[in-house]
A and B are shown apart, each in its own frame.
Chain A
Amino acid sequence: MSGARESRATAARLAARRTAQFVVAVTVTLAVVGLSRVPYAAVQSEDGELRLAWRFRSERVSACRKLSDAEQAALPAHMRRQEDCTRGLRPYRLTVEVGATAAAAVTGEAAAVSSVDTIRARGAESDRPLFVFRRIPLAPGRYVTRVEFAPVGLGGSARTGAGDEVAGRAPAGTEGRTALRLDTTLTIGPRRVVLVTYDDDAKRMVVRMAVPVR
């Protein structure tokens, strides 16, 4: 009698153990599944973005000066030369003015974003193409926007990658380059990106709101 009771108790214990094993196994599996897909707010705010991105082949400039007799004498014989030249791509100045929303602009409200930067060519020889890459978060709305990309010291002085103020001398065919300018009103939607870029075919700045088709 007690033997039967004992075997019933053993069976019950075994069943309880099996149930616990099942519950633990399922719980752990579901935890793995759940933790592999936790919702995550990658961007918290509703702000959109004005993105300025382009690559630009600037003109090559060089700045030369005559070496004095004393300077030449100081050089080894095989390195003596008349002129000392610094070469590189011409830097450009990027001016960005994103006004207050178009409606507010009438009232003379201050610009939301205003910046001036000099874009210089990278690389040891300052000969990598210039590139612009700016991301400006903006609340949804309409913005009066002005973007200007102007060669620095065209026809006058230019700053090379080495930081010396030198006389600009553009190669043939590039002297006529003028500033690129975009004046427009942009509508920024919630979490939307508006891209201002340079269209190399049209030689002007353009606004894009979707990836171009390949």
Chain B
Amino acid sequence: MLDRARKVLAAIDAWLNRLVGWRYNPLYHSGVLAASLLAVVMVTGLYLIFFWGISDPYGSVEHITTRVFLGRFTRSLHRYASDAAILAAVVHLLRVWLQRRTWGPRALAWITGFLLLGTIWILGWTGYVMVWDVQGEVLAREGARWMDALPLFSEPISRAFDGEHPLPGAFFFLNLFAHVALPIGFGVVFWLHVARVARPQLVPPKRLLWGVVGLLALASVFVPVTMDPPADLFHLPGSASYDVFYAFFLPFTRPLAPGMVWAAGGVMLGVILLVPALMKPKAERLPPPSVVDERSCTGCEQCWLDCPYEAIRMVERTDGRPYLVARVDPGLCTSCGICAGSCAPMGVGPAGRTGKDQLVDAGAFVRGHPLGAGDVVVVSCRQAGGTALGGVGDPPVFAVSCAGNLHSSVVEYFVRSGAGGVLVVSCPPRDCWSREGPLWLEQRLFHDREAELQPRVDRRRVRVVFAGEGERAVVGAALAAFRTEIVAMETAAVGTAMAEDVVDLDRACDPVESADAVLTEKTRR
């Protein structure tokens, strides 16, 4: 069921990619959009708090709305940005869940993410109470009803709303305190949320960010927020406004006894906290963490630099060689395999996916699919659109666990084995399940990042296409265009030496021989 839901998500992604391009697909940036929108909420909130009064909450909000300079606009933007933030956060959470990126070292991000979501939700709740209109009263009463079920108070706090006395100022003060103090703790949890990530992206692309904020600002101008009638403790609220993003629970919880609400909430919370454990593959299917072959490690530090999860440290060697050696912390390794692609001497990577292993697999692939001059080999990340190929006329696909896992020697190997071209299909950069695979791949193939594709390989024969799981058509179109180019190139090259033919290749780089040598070495071991 989860896989089916993920395919639906992939289809939506594909549609949005077609509409706005993968660079600006808001679903890919949902996490950072949520964070940026919360920044907007904080800035607008800082302005509003100057005019809000504990002694007359409703009156002060009315004053803000009608008399304060830009008050109505700021209040509207404050609310709409809060709503959009929670929407973005929920989308982010759903994405991560559907892509099964919740267990192992990512469990911390999952749990703190929920903590952040819960905090945003409480902030929204207290924000509505601050207005103290009918909607705020309904939310306050519901919260008090839940709290009364807990053995914490000597008297039910619902009594504060019984009308016997005016509502105490302490109530609004506590509410204000929660509304203002929680965002301070927010920063710590947010830091924890991204603590296991080497280079967290904190802001979405500017055009996307300003586009979203601009739309919300326009909505604030043309459809500003309104106020319900003031809360009246002697009048049962007939109808109230209802913010689906923050009060989604009301229709479900109001008919329930508070004990049931707590029980249901506890079960849901338990399931959410257990997701990392529930989603973790069984031991036999658990992807292995990377390991370092210390004999091959030259201490170049590239794997340490490229690892998106800071799972690699450089430590002193014990064999007396005068440089450091990489050491993988299995507890932090997500088995993305990016280090395998970053290691020129192929000395690191998860078992079965190191550069050496990839060359062996590539050798078997070439033997199974003899390549001609006009043929294009598709190398695809398993999460990307390339693996969906397989129709009549489609080329066989050489799959890797992540585009960043692909060692550039494999690309060279295919070219030198006679393929006209190599089309590497990668997830769009912001949708990489391993965060930075497409980025490092492109830099290794075209920008000489360490473990680069050797200069002797004609770059015209290598192409990278970014296509998500649901974008088979994009891959098909890129493949057709690339094939046409390759055929044209082959035609033009008839009678003239190809770039790689004039390069003086040394034996060590002979792909078939080196792959066979690796195979022999592995067998011997």
A and B are partners in one complex rather than unrelated chains: yes
Q: B: which residues have CB within 8 A of A?
A: 19-20, 79-80, 83-84, 87, 134, 138, 154-156, 158-159, 162-167, 211, 215-216, 218-219, 223, 225-226, 233-245, 247, 250-251, 254
Please tell me if the beta carbons of A30 and B236 are within 8 angstroms of each other in the complex: no
Q: How far is the CA of A3 from the CA of B80 in the complex (A)?
A: 46
Please tell me if the beta carbons of A133 and B158 are within 8 angstroms of each other in the complex: yes
Q: How far is the CA of A210 from the CA of B218 in the complex (A)?
A: 41
A21, A32, A41, A195: the one within 8 Å of B83 (CB): A32
Given contacts A42-B238, A48-B236, A195-B163, contact A29 B158 (CB under 8 A): no
B163, B211, B215, B236: the one within 8 Å of A191 (CB): B236
Q: How far is the CA of A194 from the CA of B214 in the complex (A)?
A: 48
Please tell me if the beta carbons of B87 and A32 are within 8 angstroms of each other in the complex: yes
A116 close to chain B: CB less than 8 A: no
Q: How far is the CA of A122 from the CA of B154 in the complex (A)?
A: 7
Please tell me if the beta carbons of B225 and A37 are within 8 angstroms of each other in the complex: yes
Given contacts A40-B239, A40-B251, A128-B155, contact A211 B233 (CB under 8 A): yes
A171 close to chain B: CB less than 8 A: no
Given contacts A32-B87, A193-B236, contact A51 B165 (CB under 8 A): no
Please tell me if the beta carbons of A193 and B235 are within 8 angstroms of each other in the complex: yes
Please tell me if the beta carbons of B235 and A53 are within 8 angstroms of each other in the complex: no
A39, A197, A210: the one within 8 Å of B242 (CB): A39
A9 close to chain B: CB less than 8 A: no
**Residues of A contacting B211 in the complex (Cβ-Cβ under 8 angstroms):** 25
**Residues of B contacting A131 in the complex (Cβ-Cβ under 8 angstroms):** 155, 159
Q: How far is the CA of A43 from the CA of B162 in the complex (A)?
A: 17
A65 close to chain B: CB less than 8 A: no
Is chain A's binding surface mostly helix, strand, loop or mixed? mixed
A192 close to chain B: CB less than 8 A: yes
A14 → chain B closest CB, angstroms: 12
Q: Which residues between 167 and 208 of chain A lie within 8 Å of chain B, taking CB atoms?
A: 191-193, 195, 197, 208
A17, A42, A195: the one within 8 Å of B234 (CB): A195
A162 close to chain B: CB less than 8 A: no
- Given contacts A53-B164, A212-B165, list 12 more A-B pairs with CB under 8 A: A29-B215, A32-B84, A35-B83, A39-B241, A40-B247, A42-B134, A42-B250, A122-B154, A122-B155, A193-B234, A195-B164, A208-B164
Please tell me if the beta carbons of A41 and B159 are within 8 angstroms of each other in the complex: no
A74 close to chain B: CB less than 8 A: no
**Residues of A contacting B215 in the complex (Cβ-Cβ under 8 angstroms):** 25-26, 29
Please tell me if the beta carbons of B154 and A123 are within 8 angstroms of each other in the complex: yes
Please tell me if the beta carbons of A33 and B234 are within 8 angstroms of each other in the complex: no
Please tell me if the beta carbons of B163 and A208 are within 8 angstroms of each other in the complex: yes
A70 → chain B closest CB, angstroms: 38
Most buried by B among A37, A55, A133: A37
A214 close to chain B: CB less than 8 A: yes
Q: How far is the CA of A214 from the CA of B56 in the complex (A)?
A: 12
B243 → chain A closest CB, angstroms: 5
**Residues of B contacting A36 in the complex (Cβ-Cβ under 8 angstroms):** 79-80, 83, 225, 243-245
Please tell me if the beta carbons of B239 and A53 are within 8 angstroms of each other in the complex: no
B127 → chain A closest CB, angstroms: 12
A48 → chain B closest CB, angstroms: 7
Given contacts A25-B215, A35-B243, A53-B162, contact A40 B250 (CB under 8 A): yes
Closest to A44 in B: B238
A26, A39, A214: the one within 8 Å of B166 (CB): A214
Q: How far is the CA of A35 from the CA of B215 in the complex (A)?
A: 16
Please tell me if the beta carbons of B242 and A38 are within 8 angstroms of each other in the complex: yes
A59 close to chain B: CB less than 8 A: no
Q: How far is the CA of A212 from the CA of B245 in the complex (A)?
A: 35
Please tell me if the beta carbons of B241 and A29 are within 8 angstroms of each other in the complex: no
**Residues of A contacting B163 in the complex (Cβ-Cβ under 8 angstroms):** 51, 53, 193, 195, 208, 210-211
Please tell me if the beta carbons of A21 and B223 are within 8 angstroms of each other in the complex: no
Please tell me if the beta carbons of B219 and A33 are within 8 angstroms of each other in the complex: yes
20 contacts across the A-B interface (CB closer than 8 A): A26-B215, A29-B216, A30-B219, A32-B84, A33-B219, A33-B223, A37-B226, A39-B239, A40-B138, A40-B251, A42-B134, A42-B250, A42-B254, A48-B236, A51-B163, A131-B159, A133-B158, A195-B162, A208-B164, A209-B234
